Amino acid sequence: GQNIDQPTEMTATEGAIVQINCTYQTSGFNGLFWYQQHAGEAPTFLSYNVLDGLEEKGRFSSFLSRSKGYSYLLLKELQMKDSASYLCAVRTGGSYIPTFGRGTSLIVHP
């Protein structure tokens, strides 16, 4: 089975940087996804990591360490619109179905 852990809630200030961590335990690994979900809306794809290291995409970056079963999503220059839930999802070898964590609710305040 799989176990994916994320903090339940985080708060940060507009303009700041925030790091959302995700740890996982799986019997195999074939990629990790981050999704953003605003309240009442569908999750939208942010990033994908399958190799160790940092993937940067504008204000958002995602890091993966396969040996540690660890990933983080880094959000820079926070904006109020970044207030949302951030979902970490892991796909294991042989399965096309990602398993999602419970999500981290990020609240950005002025």
Tell me which residues touch other proteins (CB under 8 A). 4, 30-31, 33, 35, 41-45, 48, 50, 87, 89, 91, 96-103
Which tokens is 11 given? 């708060």
Of the pair 81, 96, the CB lying nearest other proteins is at 96
Which CB sits closer to other proteins, 78 or 88? 88
Number of Cα atoms under 13 Å in the Cβ half of residue 47: 24
One-letter amino acid for residue 42 of the chain? A
Least separation in angstroms between residue 40's CB and other proteins is: 8
Q: How are beta strands 3-5 and 18-25 bridged, if at all?
A: antiparallel
β-sheet bridge partners, residue 60: 57, 75
* Shortest CB 5 distance to other proteins, Å: 11
Specify the residue, 27 or 110, whose C-beta has the smaller distance to other proteins: 27
The three-point CA angle 57-86-24 to 5° equals 95
CB of 26 to other proteins, least distance (A): 14
Amino acid at 39: A
Q: Which is nearer to other proteins, 12 or 36 (CB)?
A: 36
Q: How far apart, in whole angstroms, are the C-alpha atoms of residue 84 and residue 105?
A: 6
**Min CB(110)–other proteins separation in Å:** 26
